[in-house]
Structure 1
Amino acid sequence: MELQKFKLIAHRGEHELAPENTITAFQLAVKQGATALETDVRLCADGEVVLFHDYTLSRHFKDRRKIAVCTLKELKSLSFSGQKYKYTDQIATLNELLESFKGTIPINIDIKTYLIPNKELCLKVIRAVERHNMINQVWVSSFNPVDLHFLKKAQPALRTGYLYNSLGMIHFFIDIFLKSDAWHPHYSQVSPGFFSLAERMGKEVYIWTVNKPAVLKKISKHKFNGIITDKFFRTRPLAEQK
């Protein structure tokens, strides 16, 4: 089982040593062997695109506010717990991420909208990617088919990935209209038939979130483009690096 046959996509970066979705977490992931990065984006109150997975701040801070009601200045003032992590950092913006990794490795941007489409967020992601001339380095994924349709219509050159975790056949039919470039299934949704269909349809395949050796062994019998993982990107221990 050769891990380097497909992309090792660091899910929110190296978030055991540093807070998830921070620039430090992504830098550490690359040092350890990640060959692509995955991040989540949301809009804050003043319209900045920030890297944050959750709807609210509560999982990381003693603060129950929604990301959408906080300004960037307020978010930047928050401090991740230094006791939990070896390294710490601030909440980052999409622009900071793109500036840090331009011309290096592929980046998967997951638009966190779920049931409610957000054209403003989609447009700002497109503009940021265009501004940094990174159309060929980035692909954007979402669970929301409306957002994916809008992204592809607004910028046909931007690669898109359809995320889903259940009801696979329904999503295959929806994707006829989306014309996404990639499928992003949860590992529980893949099968020999799925891989055959993806190949016939010319879809890239990125499977999430693959952390168990047994799951990796099972899917490695098939052809796919990458795994989104919290652990398998660690092929080069930091302790061995100068």
Structure 2
Amino acid sequence: MNRPQVVAHRGASHDNPEHTLGAYVAALDDGADGLECDVRLTADGHLVCVHDRDLRRTAATKGIVSTMDLAELDQLDFASWKNPWRDLDDEAPDRDDRLHRVLTLRTLLEMVADYDRRVEVAIETKHPTRYGGLVERRLVELLHHFGWDRPGSPARVMSFSWKALQRVEKRAPGVPLVQLVEHAHLWPMLSRVIGPDWLVGPGIDELTEHKKLGPRITSAGHDMHVWTVNTPTELDLCLQLGVKAVITDRPAYLLELLDDRGL
């Protein structure tokens, strides 16, 4: 039984505001092998690490990411939603606001590139979006800037859209691709259109509910990167299935569980 790669989902997001620099610093401090992020394109062409199309949940505004410039997003607080009572806690440490503003993908990749050990990055492009394939084009351009658009790259690209992944494959055939699977019943169709060397990323709930899904994916010759794995039971299922990477909100906890299992 091999030890899977532990990838921090939106950073160490169980304890920190997701997609903030602080969450990713915490994940690296925890020892995460990789970092996962979602990216969206701003109105002025910057890729930012934000999951939702609007900002009501994480920045308390009705603004839409794709209609706002980076400078506008940079004025927003992306951290207070996680702990709205923080200002009333006299024992809370002082907060460095630089760690809790909107995070550009470039900044995240710069941190990874400068880190003192290899860290991999799983980048999910969100669709549908008003910018269509421009998202993947900008992403490949940024990966090229870092020299990460070729075999051996620490970056991989994920999406629920197989067309989006095909766009990346065309522009950067050396970058690993992960076809995300939200519903088990979609696998027979996806299995016919994805590349033979693509990775597959099913959700842990689907693997749990549909016992045949995992074996069907592996028997088709695809390694699995599974989201979002946060409990001992979920981890054990992934270990039984030979999953290559587990994407988790709790990287420190999963690393501890793996150590306890002698892996």
- Range of TM-score over shorter length: 0.7 to 0.9
Aligned counterpart, 2:141? 127
User: Is the 1:6–1:224 contact (alpha carbons within 8 Å) kept by the matching residues of 2?
Assistant: yes
Give the alignment partner of residue 118 of structure 1, picking from 115, 132, 143.
132
1:54-203 alignment, distance < 5 Å:
54-82=52-80, 84=83, 87=95, 88-102=99-113, 104-114=118-128, 118-135=132-149, 136-168=153-185, 170-179=186-195, 181-190=198-207, 193-203=212-222
Residue 42 (1) aligns with residue 40 (2): yes
CA offset at residue 216 of structure 1? 1.8
Q: Specify the SS of the correspondent of 1:39.
A: strand
Range that drifts further, 12-21 or 45-54: 12-21
User: Is the 2:148–2:175 contact (alpha carbons within 8 Å) kept by the matching residues of 1?
Assistant: no
- Backbone CA RMSD of aligned residues: 2.4
Query: d(CA) in 1 for partners of 2:232 and 2:35?
Result: 20
Query: d(CA) in 2 for partners of 1:172 and 1:99?
Result: 38
Give me the TM-score of the superposition, normalised by structure 2: 0.80
What one-letter code is carried by the residue in structure 2 that aligns with 1:223? G
1:3-14 alignment, distance < 5 Å:
5-14=3-12
CA offset at residue 219 of structure 1? 2.9
Aligned counterpart, 1:219? 238
Aligned pair in 2 of structure 1 residues 149, 69: CA closer, same or farther (>3 Å)? same
Aligned pair in 2 of structure 1 residues 33, 172: CA closer, same or farther (>3 Å)? farther
What one-letter code is carried by the residue in structure 2 that aligns with 1:45? A
Matched residue pairs, number?
233
Aligned pair in 2 of structure 1 residues 24, 15: CA closer, same or farther (>3 Å)? same
Listed one character per residue, the Cα deviations across residues 64-97 of structure 1 (whole Å, up to 9, x for unaligned) are 0100111000111112345827655211111111
Query: d(CA) in 1 for partners of 2:131 and 2:246?
Result: 26
Listed one character per residue, the Cα deviations across residues 127-173 of structure 1 (whole Å, up to 9, x for unaligned) are 101110123111101111221121112221111111122134x3343
Query: d(CA) in 1 for partners of 2:183 and 2:198?
Result: 19
Unaligned 5+ segments in structure 1 are 237-242
User: Is the 2:66–2:130 contact (alpha carbons within 8 Å) kept by the matching residues of 1?
Assistant: no
Aligned pair in 2 of structure 1 residues 196, 54: CA closer, same or farther (>3 Å)? same
Range that drifts further, 42-51 or 189-198: 189-198
CA offset at residue 33 of structure 1? 2.1
Query: d(CA) in 1 for partners of 2:128 and 2:12?
Result: 25
Unaligned 5+ segments in structure 2 are 87-92, 257-263
User: Is the 1:122–1:151 contact (alpha carbons within 8 Å) kept by the matching residues of 2?
Assistant: yes
Q: Specify the SS of the correspondent of 1:60.
A: helix
Query: d(CA) in 2 for partners of 1:44 and 1:194?
Result: 36
CA offset at residue 176 of structure 1? 2.8
Aligned counterpart, 1:240? none
Query: d(CA) in 2 for partners of 1:233 and 1:186?
Result: 20
> Percent identity at matched positions?
24
Q: Which has the higher helix share?
A: 2
Give the alignment partner of residue 20 of structure 1, picking from 18, 21, 25.
18
Range that drifts further, 123-132 or 103-112: 103-112
Query: d(CA) in 2 for partners of 1:132 and 1:172?
Result: 36
Query: d(CA) in 1 for partners of 2:14 and 2:26?
Result: 10
Give me the TM-score of the superposition, normalised by structure 1: 0.86
What one-letter code is carried by the residue in structure 2 that aligns with 1:147? A
CA offset at residue 17 of structure 1? 4.0
